[in-house]
Every structure is written in C-alpha cells, then in structure tokens.
C-alpha cells in the first residue's frame, strides 16, 4: 500500500481524530455483533501506546433521517469499547461543538467516542464546514473505517483537507488484501459471487471476468442467467431488466463463468417450506421458486476450488437465513475453509457472506474477512475509493 499509515506519524502529545466503523447491529441498546468494534482495537491500542493527548472517535450508525434519533445513538458502543480497550471511554452527545471540544481539551490521553456523524444531514454531502468543525478535535486524522471508504463524506474525506491524514491498521490490511487479490493474485484465482441481484454486481462481474480464472455464480442472481438461457423459472427471483445483460456476459465469458447445475425449490419463502430438488433446465412449477444451489453444484464448485490459490467470495448461494435453503452457502464456506487450510489465500467480502461464515463457525479459518460490503465490492471492481485516495502518499 502506497499510503502513509499511523506508524509514519509521531503521535506523542498529539490530539488524534480517528474515523472508525462502529456501524454495529443493535437490539434496542444491546450490541448483537461487536465484530466491527473489535476490528478497530489494534489501531486504537497502538495509538494509546504512543501517549497522545487525546483520541476522539467518529463513526456513523444506521441511517437516521434528517437529524438526531436516539435509536441510532452510539452511546451503547462506549461501554463495549471500554471493555475491549481496558481504558475509560467517555461519550460525547454531539460530534462537534463545545462539549466534544471540552472533553478533548481535558482528555489527558483518554478516549472520547463522539455521537453519530449522520445526526448532521450535511455529513453525507461532504460539507466542508462540518468537516472543519470535526478537524478542530485533532492535530492528525487516522482513517480506519474501510466500510465507509467508498463514501465521500465530511468524516471520511472532508476532514482530510484540514489535517495530516493516514490509514489505520484495518484500512491497511483491507487495502493490501483486496488490492493484491485483484492486481497480483496467486493463480488459479477463483471468484465466487452470490446474492440476489445481477444488476448490483454487473461492474464486479465484468472486472472479475477480466482478472480471474473462473467465476462461480450462485444465489438469486443465477436465476437471471438461467432466464437468459431461456429456462422457465416459475416464481423465482428474476431481474427482467438484467436478462439482456446476463446474455451478453454469458456470450463473452467463454467457459470462465460457471453457473449452478441443480438447485433446491421451495413452495414458499419460509422455514417450513416444502423442498424439491431440480436439475437446471427442468421447468419450475408455477408457484415454486429456486432458493438454493443443490448437491451437484456444490460438488462442481468444489472441483473448481480444488486447485485454487486465491479465492474471493461475496454473496450467499441461497436464502441461507431460511433453514431448508442454508446448505449451499454453508457448503461453500466449508470448501473455502478447507482450501485455506491447504494454503490458498481466501478473502470474504462483506455482508451476508461474513454472516454465513461466522454462523458456520469457520471465520478463524479464512485468510481475510473484509469489514466493508460496498467498499470491498468497489475495490473488486477496481475503483479507487475516495476515503483511500484522500490519505497522504508515502
């Protein structure tokens, strides 16, 4: 990575402003998954060791509409972070203004968590006036929120105009793994894409087809490719607007693009759905939908992964949140873990794939699990992320 990191700055006695990604799932005020908080700890512990004057942390949480909303407060994160860091974490009820400025001035090397940046509607417009107020809380800025690096917001890009800005360890790790997977993979390089929609991933498919050796497609998006091949898909999710695109991708992909050969049908989207096995090409009965890949496809994907040295996976193979249709995604998770054990580099890019690998209890058997769904997809497309571009070059 050609960007400066937190290691390249002298932080002693400095006020350090850090953009973290604490966009965690909440059940009321209970954090149901603290993965993103834990991911920030190495950077924060390193900064604490450098004896700074203060550490002020900015993050968004959820999508509050038009102003402060208690439902999206970051207050529950402060005690969770305090337990992980082993030092007191103070909470500021605003992101900018007199309260956080006073807490920073009297921090004595301590940690302050600022309230949700998105309580300011202009944050997402990269408002420089807001960014300037944020910059008052630091002498240097550390960007460690990879999950927000594809957004040009006041707290990710705007603030870099006013402070020396470098990457934290999480940003560094994400960029190194994802960029290397794309630019310099150990071959064979196999990509696996799932999820509901082809339209969300057209640019990713086109980019990966030009770089990988094989591209395995599963999930609801496979249905649109089947429709493009002229198959009757019953009630299955099919993007009518993307059928022509799917045809074009099939035509130019040669044998690189690998589709499922069988699947599981359900009569409804529910845990008590009736289930039928079907080979691809057989007509799907009216009222039924394809919800998962089948055993023959799992075996086929296993063959394609058997010699892979780099594997990137983004998106589930079926509606894995419903018990009858979870096996395809779990099986791919197991295949990936087994191949990693044999020496392959495995990278899982954000969102549902991460949930699936954690549910399978295999997260510690994967080389790198990305914390950024949209950001990792944009890197796989080969895009430059604004939150990365804004950091100081080495």
Report the distance separating Cα 390 and Cα 166, nearest Å.
9
Helix (H) or strand (E) holding 180: helix 169-183
> Cα dihedral sign for 245, 246, 248, 252?
positive
Look at residues 123, 33, 113 and name the one whose alpha carbon lies nearest to residue 81.
Answer: 113
- pTM to 2 decimal places: 0.87
The pLDDT tens digits along the chain (394 residues) read 689 999 999 999 999 999 999 999 999 999 988 989 999 999 999 999 999 999 999 999 999 998 999 999 999 999 999 999 999 999 999 999 999 999 999 999 999 999 999 999 999 999 999 999 999 999 999 999 999 999 999 999 999 999 999 999 999 999 888 887 778 899 999 999 998 888 888 888 998 999 999 999 999 999 999 999 999 999 999 999 999 999 999 999 989 999 999 999 999 999 999 999 999 999 999 999 999 999 999 999 999 999 999 999 999 999 998 999 999 999 999 999 999 999 999 999 866 788 788 888 888 999 998 888 788 888 888 888 999 999 999 8
Domains by residue range for the chain, with CATH: 6-171 (3.40.50.1260), 185-381 (3.40.50.1260)
381: left (phi over 0), alpha (psi -120 to 50) or beta: alpha
Report the distance separating Cα 210 and Cα 255, nearest Å.
13
Look at residues 98, 131, 113, 104 and name the one whose alpha carbon lies nearest to residue 61.
Answer: 113
Look at residues 291, 317, 156 and name the one whose alpha carbon lies nearest to residue 234.
Answer: 291
Active site residues: 36, 197, 351, 374
């Amino acid at each position: 990575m050609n960007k400066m990191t937190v290691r390249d700055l002298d932080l002693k006695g400095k006020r350090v402003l850090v953009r973290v990604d604490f966009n965690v799932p909440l059940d009321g005020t209970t954090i149901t998954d603290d993965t993103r908080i834990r991911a920030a700890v190495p950077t924060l512990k390193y900064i604490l060791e450098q004896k700074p004057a203060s550490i002020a942390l900015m993050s968004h949480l959820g999508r509050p509409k038009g102003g402060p909303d208690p439902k999206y407060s970051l207050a529950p994160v402060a005690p969770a972070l305090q337990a992980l860091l082993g030092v007191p974490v103070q909470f500021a009820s605003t992101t900018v203004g007199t309260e956080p400025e006073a807490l920073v001035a009297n921090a004595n090397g301590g940690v302050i968590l600022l309230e949700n940046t998105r309580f300011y509607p202009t944050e997402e417009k990269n408002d420089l006036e807001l960014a300037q107020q944020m910059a008052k809380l630091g002498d240097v800025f550390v960007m460690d929120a990879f999950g927000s690096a594809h957004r040009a917001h006041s707290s990710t890009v705007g603030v870099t105009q006013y402070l020396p800005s470098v990457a934290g360890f999480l940003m560094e790790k994400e960029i190194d793994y994802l960029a290397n997977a794309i630019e310099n993979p150990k071959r064979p390089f196999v990509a696996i894409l799932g999820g509901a929609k082809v339209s969300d991933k057209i640019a990713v498919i086109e980019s990966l087809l030009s770089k990988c050796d094989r591209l395995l497609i599963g999930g609801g998006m496979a249905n649109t490719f089947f429709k493009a091949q002229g198959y009757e898909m019953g009630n299955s999710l099919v993007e009518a607007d993307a059928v022509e695109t799917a045809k074009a991708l099939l035509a130019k992909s040669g044998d690189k693009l690998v589709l499922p050969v069988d699947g599981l049908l359900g009569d409804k989207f529910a845990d008590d759905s009736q289930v039928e096995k079907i080979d691809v090409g057989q007509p799907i009965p009216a009222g039924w939908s394809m919800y998962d890949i089948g055993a023959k496809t799992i075996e086929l994907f296993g063959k394609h992964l058997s010699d892979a040295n780099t594997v990137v996976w983004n998106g589930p193979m079926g509606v894995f949140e419903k018990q009858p249709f979870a096996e395809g995604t779990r099986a791919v998770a197991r295949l990936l873990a087994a191949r990693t054990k044999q020496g392959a580099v495995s990278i899982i890019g954000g969102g549902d794939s991460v949930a699936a690998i954690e549910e399978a209890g295999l997260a510690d058997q994967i080389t790198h699990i990305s914390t950024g769904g949209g950001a990792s997809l944009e890197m796989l497309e080969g895009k430059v992320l604004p939150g990365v571009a804004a950091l100081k070059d080495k």
